[in-house]
Structure 1
Amino acid sequence: MANQILYIASGSAPLSSQFQETLDMLLTGAAFGQPTTLWLTKGCLHQLQLAPSASLAQLPDFGVRCVTDDPAPVASIPVETLDSQTLQALRDECSQTLVF
């Protein structure tokens, strides 16, 4: 997908105001048909398991694809586990990558 946006949640504070603002941006774009993927890194997943975010549960309803390189489950949303080569290919294919 040439116009796809990749958001990378690299922070370990997924309940911060910055994380919530980024989720709002992500959901808004997806609601208007922007192909969007959210890459949840290991640190972010760990924090989400300690304190789940209700906003994340809405992502599949908006067509947001959630991926990770860590097989740890996140109860509130479906997350695809991808290997490092597939994640790198995804990153290369996206027209824009935003790291937060």
Structure 2
Amino acid sequence: MANRLYIASANAPLSDRFQEMLDMLMTGAAFGLPTTLWLTDGCLNALAALPANDSLSQLADFGVRCVASETAAPGYLQVEKLSAATLRNLSSDCQQVLVF
């Protein structure tokens, strides 16, 4: 179970707000907090149009679980694809849900 679930719904990834979310993810991971990042289809589509981002690519190395819907388009990020029902359950099972 993840203590924190971050939902990246931004259509403007890598904005200041998005970067703030990445910083929060890395800080939590540095303290060993179980953390999951849900990249929505819209966010993944926007990221696909941008050059690869090192911070995003390194999340798994820091222990952040990255998930997306099973309908998400493939991209440069390694994400675990989950069904809609599993994603809903994931959000209800977390102690804290943050939407960016």
Structure 1 and Structure 2 fold alike (TM over 0.5): yes
- Structure 1, residues 28-66: CA drift from partner, whole Å, max 9, x if none? 101110000000001100011111322101101110000
In structure 1, stretches of 5+ residues that fail to align are none
C-alpha distance in 2 between matches for 1:44 and 1:54:
16
Q: CA deviation at 1:93?
A: 0.6
| 4+ runs deviating over 6 angstroms | none
Whether 2:21 is the aligned partner of 1:30: answer no
C-alpha distance in 2 between matches for 1:6 and 1:65:
9
Conserved in 1, the CA contact under 8 Å of 2:44 and 2:72?
Answer: no
SS in 2 for 1:98: strand
Count of residue pairs brought into register by the alignment: 98
One-letter identity of the residue aligned with 1:71: A
C-alpha distance in 2 between matches for 1:21 and 1:54:
15
C-alpha distance in 1 between matches for 2:36 and 2:54:
18
Q: Which moved more, 1:63-72 or 1:90-99?
A: 63-72
Percent identity over the alignment?
59
SS in 2 for 1:44: helix
One-letter identity of the residue aligned with 2:65: R
Give the CA RMSD over aligned residues. 1.1
Using the size of structure 1 for normalisation, the TM-score is 0.92
Alignment CA distance shift 1:82-1:37 (3 Å): same
One-letter identity of the residue aligned with 2:97: T
One-letter identity of the residue aligned with 2:19: Q
C-alpha distance in 2 between matches for 1:71 and 1:9:
13
One-letter identity of the residue aligned with 1:65: R
